[in-house]
Chains A and B, each alone.
Chain A
């Protein structure tokens, strides 16, 4: 059972090794002539103003939270979808109620303006 995952681990490890080797090769073959101007942050040729690590819009955070809520619900749907044919009408009604409740929350979020970008 677990043996079928061996190729997957090899793939992931191989991908990482490939990436590391490429980066290292670049370090070996490429020239190294750093200077202050070259190492400064790129800001379209202007003198960089302050750091980039400042506060950013809370919208991104909201999207991340909403994503977690809805993604968990998608995870619930997977096992249900796979065994849909066995569950029959009962399973369908149960999930319809679940999705209806979810839709209520979705419209609440929508009306509250959490999905607006300006």
Chain B
């Protein structure tokens, strides 16, 4: 028990440092890609090619005054960013970022927590993220914040439905709630050559899940909670310093996790097609698979970024219409069609 706790703490520290570095790189990538799209240079002064810009920004936020408006409800105002970051950091726990690897003579699964209901854990924890946003909006006692928080909670719960329903199709195909088993299921081949990734088996679910992931991470075209032209900063209008920074970090950490979940559920996770025929040693193969996972993740994140800077924002009624009148029936129909097709094949 004690050693388990110690290992968990070590895993957590390693994981948090990786996530923070990744998040900082993501912020940098976003600023550079957006600059490229808008024909600018972007941050290029701090460190080589401006790589340390985001890091310096964190230090800057640390040295800023923490302002709590006098009409705000301070305990909740303090609590909201903590909820956001805790939720954002703990979601990644169940994602397998590689197959097993042999360390010191034992087979170690490359995931932080090997639980048998991985997907349910993911869904439940991500839905807790609503609290951070809503409480931030309410406790600030500011009209922009309140509207941003309300809009955000309505948006998050609407798209959570489609998200949950898209996963059903994957579960029917794979027949398990364990994320490592789902990835293993995708390592087989259809007709002997096509990798059985769920993107090929469940294209509709992939599509709806991807859209829902955009909405869940509050990214453009679904960034209505912030929508600068109408709501100033949305739910974090009244936040300064690192409390604002925590929301910012949480947003990018959520994006990181969303990319990882998409990779795991639909893009074959750590599976590199045909790599098992290369005749590599098991350790080399494991390392290669972890790298594959990272590459897929980076590609998904880049896609997130490019979409953000090339597509205009929806109106709020359009957003809710897509969520309730398009995504919901589509995902339910997908469940039925998947069931029917699977019965026919059997």
Residue ranges of A at the interface with B (Cβ–Cβ < 8 Å): 3-8, 10-12, 14-16, 18-20, 22-23, 25-27, 29-34, 38-44, 48, 51-53, 56, 59-60, 63-64, 66-67, 70-71, 74, 77-78, 81-85, 88-89, 92, 95-96, 99, 102-103, 106, 110, 115-118
Report B299-331 residues with CB < 8 Å from chain A CB: 316-317, 320-321, 324-325, 328-329
The 9 closest A-B CB pairs, nearest first, are: A15-B86, A19-B82, A117-B317, A26-B242, A15-B89, A7-B113, A10-B8, A81-B171, A11-B90
**Please, which residues of chain A bring their CB within 8 A of the CB of B241?**
26, 30
* A18 and B16 in contact, given A84-B175, A117-B316 (Cβ under 8 angstroms): yes
| A19 touching B81, Cβ below 8 Å | yes
Contact with A along B58-79 (1 / 0, CB 8 A): 0001111111111100000010
Residue ranges of B at the interface with A (Cβ–Cβ < 8 Å): 1, 4-5, 7-9, 11-13, 15-16, 61-71, 78, 81-90, 92-94, 112-116, 120-121, 140-147, 150, 153-154, 157-158, 160-161, 164-165, 168-169, 171-172, 175-177, 232, 237-238, 241-243, 245-246, 316-317, 320-321, 324-325, 328-329, 332, 335-336, 339-340, 342-343, 346
| B165 touching A77, Cβ below 8 Å | yes
| A81 touching B325, Cβ below 8 Å | no
| B343 touching A88, Cβ below 8 Å | yes
| A8 touching B65, Cβ below 8 Å | no
| A103 touching B332, Cβ below 8 Å | yes
Task: Determine how close the nearest CB of chain B comes to the CB of A13; give it in whole angstroms.
Answer: 9
| A30 touching B16, Cβ below 8 Å | no
* Sample (20) of A-B pairs whose CB atoms are under 8 Å apart: A11-B8, A11-B92, A14-B13, A14-B90, A15-B85, A18-B85, A18-B86, A31-B65, A43-B144, A44-B232, A56-B147, A60-B154, A64-B157, A66-B324, A67-B161, A74-B161, A77-B168, A84-B342, A95-B339, A103-B332
Nearest chain-A residue to B163 (Cβ)? A74
* A5 and B113 in contact, given A11-B90, A19-B81, A39-B70 (Cβ under 8 angstroms): yes
| B144 touching A42, Cβ below 8 Å | yes
| A63 touching B158, Cβ below 8 Å | yes
Q: Is the interface of A mostly helix, strand, loop or mixed?
A: helix
Q: Is the interface of B mostly helix, strand, loop or mixed?
A: helix
Task: Determine how close the nearest CB of chain A comes to the CB of B109; give it in whole angstroms.
Answer: 10
Nearest chain-B residue to A19 (Cβ)? B82
Partner of B243 from the list A26, A38, A103 (CB cut-off 8 Å) is A26
**Bound CA–CA A23/B7 (angstroms):** 27
Task: Determine how close the nearest CB of chain B comes to the CB of A88; give it in whole angstroms.
Answer: 7
**Please, which residues of chain B bring their CB within 8 A of the CB of A52?**
140-143, 145-146
| B11 touching A7, Cβ below 8 Å | yes
Give the one of B70, B154, B317 with max A CB within 10 A: B154
Partner of B320 from the list A10, A78, A115 (CB cut-off 8 Å) is A115
Give the one of A25, A32, A84, A103 with max B CB within 10 A: A84
Nearest chain-B residue to A77 (Cβ)? B168
| A23 touching B8, Cβ below 8 Å | no
Task: Determine how close the nearest CB of chain B comes to the CB of A60; give it in whole angstroms.
Answer: 5
**Bound CA–CA A41/B67 (angstroms):** 11
Task: Determine how close the nearest CB of chain B comes to the CB of A33; give it in whole angstroms.
Answer: 7
| A23 touching B246, Cβ below 8 Å | yes
| A64 touching B78, Cβ below 8 Å | no
**Please, which residues of chain A bring their CB within 8 A of the CB of B324?**
66, 115
**Please, which residues of chain B bring their CB within 8 A of the CB of A4?**
113-116
* A99 and B12 in contact, given A19-B246, A23-B81, A106-B328 (Cβ under 8 angstroms): no
Task: Determine how close the nearest CB of chain A comes to the CB of B58; give it in whole angstroms.
Answer: 9
| A41 touching B142, Cβ below 8 Å | yes
Nearest chain-A residue to B119 (Cβ)? A78
| B164 touching A117, Cβ below 8 Å | no
